[in-house]
């Protein structure tokens, strides 16, 4: 039986309560989770998939309710200003999200939420990592993703999708997959009166108008990720047919709701969300580094990569502000080495994006290895990836270099990455290949 149609806000309130009950009473749960960097694309992919699938489950569904989990603690939501901005467009606040804090403590998660009681669907990644992966990887039974296929998701996923293909945004793929059931849901709600009553704080009481409003709210959530990830469909290196279809589809949902469409302009919407994403000036350096962070293990080596929406020189200045008794370079290097040590990393990378004075999109890459084996892998990456990524020696505006390639154990180098079409989706696999 489908979960009754409701707003995304009411859906999340009910889903959070249902999750807590399922844990307490050892009931089955279906969880939809994005990757551990928990960026905007992971957030909206999980929300959209869980919302539509809960209202249109298959006859053999593990559970009728799909619960979207944001793959970070609740406290980390506040270091993602773009989350707060996007959520406001759907009458949501941070406390409505279901986070890792809503799962049992990791020390007892296997017993309080036993694997056999769970089914996991991955969005924006296709390999469950970390502590969750060590317990539940065998319960992954579906994935929609735009990263390289790691071969961890079963070929036969039954009623759930195994959709791993190139797209600028994973949310585009989720939108495309959910379009048909979503349209059926909207039509059914409008014709049957299933969307009844007054939506939260909307002032709307007409059945068809309520359904259209709910559609528009979730459509704006989904659209936010796509326009940010594709530069409002202007990034030629990222945009695919999936993205163009999704934007057209979602805009139609938005325009069908007069109370939303009257003030909607996609260009302004993109600038609003993108500005929020880049608004990291008030964050401490440590929070900036962990805001969009992913980690992998290859053999005996652990790799972490932070993606930052400001240039390295911004990070240098931020470090100096926080540590007055050190030079800018010393403060920065001490801070990022400490960040890597906290996570027991043997290799740590920072990728930055920014806009040059002439308005050109640019990328920087810093890689630091901390053991002899990791040093060998980092040097191998430097040699093998230089041409593909267009790596050129980096230095600051005053000529300062961050390189340290002379020591016996450690090795560190920074580059301009001139082949700017390659994001972490490509750089991280190249690093991992060098580690294996």
Residue 401 has pLDDT above 60, yes or no: yes
pLDDT at 374: 96
Residues of the chain with pLDDT > 70, as a percent, come to: 94
Of residues 291 and 398, which shows the higher confidence score? 291
Q: What is the structure's pLDDT at 400?
A: 84
> What average pLDDT does the chain have?
92
- Measured CA to CA in angstroms, residue 138 lies from 53, 141, 144, 162, 223 at distances of 22, 8, 17, 15, 32
Q: How many Å is the Cα radius of gyration of the chain?
A: 22
Which residues contact residue 299 at a Cβ distance below 8 angstroms, ignoring those fewer than 6 apart? 435, 436
Any alpha helices (H) in 300-350, and if so which ranges?
Answer: 312-322, 328-342
Q: How confident is the model over 252-258, as a mean pLDDT?
A: 96
Whether residue 196 contacts residue 207, with contact meaning beta carbons closer than 8 Å, is answered with yes
Pair 401, 389: CB distance under 8 Å? no
Q: State mean pLDDT over 352-371.
A: 92
Between residues 112 and 98, the one the model is more confident about = 98
**Which domains can be identified in the chain, with CATH numbers?**
8-271 (3.90.1640.10), 285-435 (3.10.310.20)
At 2 the pLDDT is 66
pLDDT at position 355 is 87
Percentage, residues of the chain above pLDDT 90: 81
Q: What is the pLDDT of residue 57?
A: 82
What digits encode the pLDDT tens for the residues 172-225? 999 999 999 999 988 876 544 444 444 444 444 456 788 899 999 999 999 999
Q: Are strands 347-355 and 301-308 parallel, antiparallel or unpaired?
A: parallel
pLDDT above 60: residue 141: yes
Residue 256 pLDDT greater than 60, yes or no = yes
- Token pair in block for residue 70: 């944001």
Note the pLDDT tens digit of each residue in 321-358. Answer: 998 777 899 999 999 999 999 999 999 999 999 988 88
User: What is the arithmetic mean of pLDDT over 42-71?
Assistant: 95
Dist CA 187 CA 391 (whole Å): 52
Evaluate if residue 1 carries a pLDDT over 80. Answer: no
Position 110 pLDDT exceeds 70: no
d(CA 350, CA 25): 43
pLDDT reported for residue 197: 46
> Minimum mean pLDDT among 32-46, 176-190, 281-295, 369-383: which range?
176-190
> Rounded to an integer, what distance in angstroms lies between the CA atom of residue 23 and that of residue 16?
11
């Amino acid at each position: 039986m489908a979960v009754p149609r409701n707003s995304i806000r009411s859906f999340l309130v009910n889903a959070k309560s249902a999750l807590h009950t399922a844990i307490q009473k050892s009931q089955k749960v279906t969880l939809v989770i994005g990757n551990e960097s928990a960026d905007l694309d992971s957030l909206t992919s999980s929300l959209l998939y869980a919302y539509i699938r809960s209202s249109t489950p298959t006859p053999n569904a593990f559970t009728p309710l799909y619960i979207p989990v944001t793959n970070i603690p609740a406290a980390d939501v506040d270091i993602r200003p773009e989350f707060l901005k996007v959520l406001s467009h759907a009458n949501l606040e941070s406390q409505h999200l279901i986070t890792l804090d809503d799962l049992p403590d990791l020390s007892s998660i296997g017993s309080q939420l036993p694997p056999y009681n769970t089914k996991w669907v991955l969005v924006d990644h296709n390999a469950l990592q970390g502590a969750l992966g060590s317990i539940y990887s065998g319960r992954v039974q579906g994935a929609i993703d735009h990263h390289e296929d790691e071969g961890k998701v079963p070929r036969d996923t039954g009623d759930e999708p195994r959709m791993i293909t190139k797209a600028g945004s994973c949310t585009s793929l989720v939108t495309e997959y959910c379009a048909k059931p979503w349209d059926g849901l909207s039509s059914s709600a409008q014709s049957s009166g299933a969307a009844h009553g007054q939506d939260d704080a909307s002032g709307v009481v007409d059945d068809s108008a309520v359904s259209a409003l709910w559609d528009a709210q979730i459509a704006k959530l989904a659209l936010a990720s796509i326009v940010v990830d594709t530069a409002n469909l202007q990034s030629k290196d990222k945009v695919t047919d999936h993205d163009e279809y999704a934007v057209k589809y979602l805009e139609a949902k938005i325009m069908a709701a007069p109370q939303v469409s009257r003030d909607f302009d996609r260009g302004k919407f993109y600038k609003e969300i993108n500005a929020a994403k880049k608004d990291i000036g008030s964050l401490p350096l440590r929070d900036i580094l962990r805001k969009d962070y992913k980690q992998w293990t290859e053999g005996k080596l652990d790799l972490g990569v932070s993606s930052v929406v400001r240039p390295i020189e911004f990070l240098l200045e931020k470090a100096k502000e926080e540590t007055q008794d050190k030079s800018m370079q010393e403060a920065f290097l001490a801070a990022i080495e400490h960040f890597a040590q906290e996570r027991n990393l043997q290799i740590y990378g920072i990728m930055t994006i920014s806009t040059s004075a002439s308005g050109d999109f640019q990328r920087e890459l810093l890689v630091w290895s901390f053991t002899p084996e990791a040093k060998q892998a980092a040097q191998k990456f430097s040699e093998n990836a230089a041409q593909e990524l267009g790596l050129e020696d980096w230095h600051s505006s005053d000529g300062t270099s961050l390189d340290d390639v002379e020591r016996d154990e450690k090795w560190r180098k920074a580059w301009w990455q001139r082949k700017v079409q390659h994001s972490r989706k490509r750089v991280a696999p190249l690093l991992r290949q060098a580690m294996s």
